[in-house]
Amino acid sequence: METILDEAESPSIVERRRSPRPGFWSRNETWILGTISVSAFLLFWQYSVSAGLVNPLFTSSPIRIVRTAIDMFSQGEIYNDIKVSGIEFLWGYALSILVGVPMGILMGWYRRINAIFEPFVSALYASPRIALVPLMVIWFGIGLGSKIAIIFLGAVFPILINMVTGVRTVDRDFIKVARAFGASDRQLFATVVFPSTVPMLLAGLRLGLGHALIGIVVGEMYAATAGIGYMISVAGSTFRTSQVMVGVIMIAGLGVGLTEALRAIERRFERWRPDNRR
Amino acid sequence: MDQPPVKLEAIDVHLDYYNERMKRRLVVLDKINMTVSKGEVVCIVGPSGCGKSSFLNAVGGLLPITDGQLRLNGRQIRGPGPDRAIVFQHDSLFPWRSVLHNVMYGLSLQGKHSKHEIQERSRYFVNLVGLDGFEDHYPSELSGGMRQRVNIARALAVDPEVLLLDEPFAALDSQTREFMQLELLKILARAQKTAVFITHQIDEAVFIANKVAVFSARPAKIKEVVAIDYSGERTLDFKHSTEFLHLQQKIWRLIDVVTIGTEAEMI
């Protein structure tokens, strides 16, 4: 897949390193083992409930969860929860990108701007932002506003801080080259600084994503009238374990799906990343 | 025969700066006078840290000089410009750009040419440095020697009047370096460029240059400009000629006795 150069050879020779095609087992080992372990876990879970070893009130079971999910989706109430959580997430995450990326660039590039905002960023980043949930509810009510604020507070700092680091670690030699070619400030930014920060930006987006998902659940559990977190909370306090599980699986699935999507974008940029080939 | 026109001129160039730690002004360049004619390759040698690179950066317009004049075609140099291009020791290719797009960089900044035109010209220079077929490779897929060729192509693509090279082959192994010296001579001849080349290696300077300017230890003054009047073709035969050895020895003796120990290790 990748072209690797043998440095010791004469400079005009490129070799594609060919290794013998690996066998079926070594090519598929990872996912086969994963599938086996997950299946074994689900079977064991179902067996312990079916055999009466544990009370399904506490643990539910894979079959009950699937049935409950089918019920919930056919009754249709869940769609509103998904919609509400989805809107909160999209707004909160989009806002944190819209604020985090430009602020990070400014703080990374201009020493003075960094000096002004750095104390606030450090304090907020270090403190558990869950502590601010009551405040957000007082300020923005129990509707969408407080949830968006909580998701924003969770996701914006990882994005911002990664962006600052990305801008700070731009190779000075690249800047020198751009200047030597007569690049204007704007060109320097577009052709050197921004591309250099892409890997850090993507890592920041991935970190921020995790925080945003936490924000959804925590915000809705504290005070809400709809949403997946709210549904989990209500189901939990009325001992509907299967519904709790359905909610958790949905959030987890969303997290895994979005993280994979970001990974896929990262892989697109990986071809040129030198640290990947060592 | 007519004397070729003067391209680059340094008149009493002086450079100093305030050193925070030493609490005094340090003189880097002291009354440097030099002329480079069209088509000439001038090498600058001198002890480590003597200010060779500062001089080159000043010519490149990256470092303002304190006093004196630097002129290109009779016009004073103020800041970087498309008439000069620098090849740094570290190839500093943009890792997110393919070979072709790295070479296109300087021209695309200027915004004077159509994309098609820029691509065609860049392709020409990729071929010129012998990397045809590698246009779509990324720098991380190339060897050190190949990366440095791309670096040279990137500088040549903006069609500079003067090419400035700051120890471009210092990071290469000795075999690749010798090979690149030969290649550079070919490339410069084909592209008909004027060049200022900084190096640590006296043999490299003698091999490549029409003139070798020997800088003293800091503050840098020009001790002497040694003309390399070798009429034949510069091949490995030249490197093994007695003439070559004589010139090498002459330059050796010009470099400060104090620094000769450290320089000897470099050779």
- Render pLDDT for A27-50 as a digit per residue (tens, 0 to 9): 888 899 999 999 999 999 999 999
Decide if A207 contacts A161 (C-beta within 8 A): no
Q: Do B146 and A277 touch (CB under 8 A)?
A: no
The pTM for the full model equals: 0.75
What are A120's two structure tokens?
Answer: 């606030």
* Strand pairing report for B84-87 and B162-166: parallel
pLDDT of residue A13: 44
Show Cβ contacts of residue A254 under 8 Å, excluding neighbours closer than 6 positions.
A213
Q: ipTM, 2 decimals?
A: 0.81
**Chain B interface disruption, residue of A15, A171, A177, A193, most B CBs within 10 A:** A177
Q: Do A10 and B85 touch (CB under 8 A)?
A: no
Facing residue for B138 by CB, picked from A179, A181, A271: A271
The dihedral sign for the CA sequence A243, A247, A250, A256: negative
pLDDT of residue A275: 52
For residue A49, give the H/E element and its range.
helix A24-50
CA A108 distance to own-chain centroid: 23
Residues in chain A where the model's pLDDT stays below 50: 1-15, 276-278
Residue B76: half-sphere exposure toward Cβ, Cα within 13 Å = 8
pLDDT of residue A10: 43
Decide if B36 contacts B45 (C-beta within 8 A): no
Q: Do B94 and A183 touch (CB under 8 A)?
A: no
Decide if B35 contacts B6 (C-beta within 8 A): yes
pLDDT of residue A272: 67
Task: Work out the angle between the directed axes of helices B174-191 and B115-128 (0-180°, nearest 10).
Answer: 130
pLDDT of residue B223: 82
What are B221's two structure tokens?
Answer: 């003054």
B110 burial (CB, 10 Å; 0-12 / 13-18 / 19+) is: middle
Q: What residue of A is the nearest CA neighbor of B158?
A: A181
3-class SS of residue B72 = strand
Strand B24-37: give its sheet, edge to edge: B24-37, B6-19, B67-72, B75-76
Return residues 8-67 of A near B (CB < 8 Å): 9-12, 14
Residues in chain B where the model's pLDDT stays below 50: 1, 258, 260-267
